[in-house]
């Protein structure tokens, strides 16, 4: 967490981005009654047209809100999705009415569950380069976020520790896509139109 935050900060500083208009670290973002924590995504296989975005949202208010959409710089548009098992097959569907965030609730978007989906990728997420975007809520409005980029196949933002991981023995291109990248397991046609 600390490391990735520092990396993000250094990366942005290196690019000379204006920090005041955009969160320079993976710090929480507050909008209205909502606290948005640690947005992250992960590197996609070459040629992928979609990518999942993950984030934790806490509602500190007294009214239910809904995550209804947003934007991502690397994608044509984003959708709010739910993934679930249906007869032994992982399926995902768009939440047309948005993702409900009840008062007092913390909702975690993560691989295998709720996620935002970057549709029509213009370019894949690149490690070390946060993906800029917004998350739009029915009541709270639109918040600017920056997704940290985890390695291909990461199960969580902190799932792989670069400090101790041995890159020498690990070949990302040979990783088992079959059991970890839901984007590749989509039933034919579901996202094919993109
Ligand atoms: Cu999806």
Where are the domains positioned within the chain? Answer: 27-150
- Higher pLDDT residue, 177 or 110? 110
CA-to-CA distance for 100 and 51, rounded, in angstroms?
A: 22
State the distance from the centre of ligand 1 to the C-alpha of 117, rounded, in angstroms.
5
Give the burial string for 88-120 (b: 16+ CB within 10 Å, else e): eeeebeebeebbebeeeeebebbbeebbbbbbe
The pLDDT assigned to 185 comes to 45
Q: H or E segment at 94?
A: strand 89-94
Beta carbons of 76 and 120 less than 8 angstroms apart? yes
The pLDDT assigned to 156 comes to 87
State the distance from the centre of ligand 1 to the C-alpha of 33, rounded, in angstroms.
26
State the distance from the centre of ligand 1 to the C-alpha of 172, rounded, in angstroms.
22
At 178 the three-state DSSP class reads helix
The pLDDT assigned to 116 comes to 98
CA angle 120, 4, 57 (to 5 degrees): 60
Q: What is the pLDDT of residues 42-81, one digit of tens each?
A: 999 999 999 999 999 999 999 999 999 999 999 999 999 9
Q: What is the CATH number of domain 27-150?
A: 2.60.40.1890
pTM over 0.75: no
Report which of 56, 59, 54 is spatially closest to residue 32, judged by C-alpha positions.
59
Beta carbons of 106 and 114 less than 8 angstroms apart? no
State the distance from the centre of ligand 1 to the C-alpha of 164, rounded, in angstroms.
31
State the distance from the centre of ligand 1 to the C-alpha of 93, rounded, in angstroms.
7
78-87, 96-105, 139-148: segment of lowest average pLDDT: 78-87
Q: What is the pLDDT of residues 112-123, one digit of tens each?
A: 999 999 999 999
Integer CA distances (angstroms), 186 to 26, 112, 150, 170, 180, in order: 30, 12, 21, 26, 12
The confidence band for 26, taking pLDDT boundaries of 50, 70 and 90, is: low
State the distance from the centre of ligand 1 to the C-alpha of 171, rounded, in angstroms.
26
State the distance from the centre of ligand 1 to the C-alpha of 44, rounded, in angstroms.
13
The pLDDT assigned to 96 comes to 94
The pLDDT assigned to 7 comes to 52
The pLDDT assigned to 188 comes to 42
The pLDDT assigned to 84 comes to 87
DSSP state of 110: -
State the distance from the centre of ligand 1 to the C-alpha of 31, rounded, in angstroms.
24
């Amino acid at each position: 967490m600390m490391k990735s935050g520092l990396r993000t900060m250094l990366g942005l500083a290196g690019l000379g981005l204006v920090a005041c208009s955009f969160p320079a670290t993976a710090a929480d973002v507050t909008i209205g009654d909502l606290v948005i924590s640690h947005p992250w995504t992960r590197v996609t296989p070459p040629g992928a047209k979609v990518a999942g975005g993950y984030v934790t949202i806490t509602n500190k208010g007294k009214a239910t809100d809904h995550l209804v959409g947003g934007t991502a710089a690397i994608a044509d548009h984003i959708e709010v999705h739910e993934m679930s098992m249906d007869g032994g097959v992982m399926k995902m569907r768009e939440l047309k009415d948005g993702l409900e965030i009840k008062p007092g609730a913390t909702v975690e978007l993560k691989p295998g569950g709720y996620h935002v989906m970057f549709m029509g990728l213009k370019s894949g997420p690149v490690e070390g380069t946060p993906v800029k975007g917004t998350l739009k809520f029915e009541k709270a409005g639109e918040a600017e976020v920056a997704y940290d980029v985890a390695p291909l196949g990461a199960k969580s933002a902190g799932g792989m520790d670069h400090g101790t991981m041995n890159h020498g023995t690990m070949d990302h291109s040979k990783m088992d896509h079959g059991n970890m990248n839901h984007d590749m397991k989509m039933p034919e046609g579901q996202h094919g139109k993109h």
